[in-house]
Amino acid sequence: LLVVPVDGSHWLSMQEVVDMLQQKGHEVVVVAPEVSLHIKPSKDFAMKMYPVPFTQEEMDEVFKGSIMNLFEGGSFLERVIRQYQQVKKASALFLATCTHLIHNKELIRYLEESKFDAVLTDPILPCGAILAEYLSLPSVYFLQQIPCDLEYQATQCPKPPSYVPRVFTDLTDRMTFLQRVKNLLYDIPNFFLCDVVFQPYAELASEFLKREVTVPDLLRQASIWLLKLDFVLHFPKPLMPNMVFVSGVNCAYKKLNQ
């Protein structure tokens, strides 16, 4: 199994799955940058690391800014502008990571020769999806959600704004007519945020695969979507047959106080 993770809390929960797969006898290889927050070498799985053009200090500064941004108040417009600026910084860093991965000829040659059976990745960033497409491998996605609801676009799963509340609205799944209008309007900025985050990946993928592709095209190839959601903490919404809830797989196991 080839694992292409995303750093931060995304990896903390995925590592639980990777460790369990290794214990069950699967051969696991994790591909990760030399500079990261949490993705470190482990005796439980093989790891292939590659150089990136930024330091640990630069990465820590970007992530610290993202966390502080979450706790700041302000109007809807102020929050969107702050989120846009922070997303732009983090996106540049992650894009550089992905670019140096797929342009690392020695590593790509190793991946080609290893004859993996499948790819496990978090599609919040589509680097793993690009590799799966290049290597012609089935892919398993492990995620909570993707910005701009791209998982629903890729799977053709309905997510109507008259029914499913959007981010920042503070609405429930029971809305008045005016609240439904508000929910629709709050969805509009997502399209601009998505262009910032995902268009560079579409260009990178098109160059690497030598054909025109979009990010939804890449995500559409997934065999199964393992969603870290449930209908206890999240509002009911439609699902497609290959979207499976695996709630409870989060960060690290802790014995709860009774």
Its sign, for the CA torsion 175, 179, 181, 186, is: negative
φ and ψ of 210, to 5 deg: 60, 35
Which residue stretches of the chain are H helix?
9-23, 56-70, 76-102, 105-114, 127-135, 150-155, 177-186, 189-209, 215-219
Task: Indicate the pTM of the whole model.
Answer: 0.84
Across the chain, what does the average pLDDT equal? Answer: 87
> How does DSSP classify residue 247?
T
Question: Is pLDDT larger for residue 200 or for residue 256?
Answer: 200
Domains by residue range for the chain, with CATH: 2-157+192-245 (3.40.50.2000)
Q: Is residue 38 over pLDDT 70?
A: yes
The per-residue pLDDT for range 191-238, each reduced to its tens digit, is 777 777 789 999 999 999 999 999 999 999 999 999 988 888 777 788
Q: Residue for token digits 């369990």?
A: 20
φ and ψ of 211, to 5 deg: -160, 155
User: Which residues lie below 8 Å from residue 169, measured CB to CB, with a gap of 6+?
Assistant: 179, 182, 183, 186
Confidence band of 256 (pLDDT split at 50, 70, 90): low
First to last CA, the chain: 37
Q: Residue for token digits 């560079």?
A: 200
Please tell me the predicted confidence (pLDDT) of residue 227. Answer: 93
The per-residue pLDDT for range 56-107, each reduced to its tens digit, is 888 888 777 777 776 777 777 777 777 777 777 777 888 999 999 999 999 9
